[in-house]
Amino acid sequence: MNTEMSSQRQIRYSELIRSLISECILKEDFYDSSIDISTVTISFVKMSKDLRFANVYLMPLGGKEQDIVLESINKNKYIFQKYLSAARLQSKFTPKINFYIDNSFDEAEKIKKLLLNKKVLRDLNG
């Protein structure tokens, strides 16, 4: 896992890309009978240092059919790429996007369960 802090520029650009991709989901004609795109949440975007690559993390509502949703969106990512290009970003280039499932919710749940474990509570309380 990369522990380096993102620069202010990366953070601002990440939020802009997240907003544009969310907007694209609402506005564009993205139809795939195997998924309901309207139930997909864009959690966050992680930009590369040079802003050429955007890793977009998403989660379908309820975490259902994650693999199908991810496959469908990656198969049709040209729609999002085109939308970003049309947005005329304040940059020399449009970042290449890659979609991933956001598993931070699962990780948070594991940590919560660990902290509620009787042995861990005993150690924490001293």
Q: Is residue 3 scored above 80 in pLDDT? A: no
The strand pair at 40-47 and 96-101 is best described as unpaired
Q: What pTM was computed for the model?
A: 0.76
Q: What residue spans define the domains of the chain? A: 8-125
Task: Please give the CATH architecture assigned to the domain spanning 8-125.
Answer: 2-Layer Sandwich (3.30)
- Convert the pLDDT of each residue in 60-112 to its tens digit: 887 777 888 888 888 888 888 989 888 877 777 889 999 999 887 777 777 88
Alpha-carbon dihedral of residues 7, 11, 16, 18, nearest 10 degrees?
A: 130
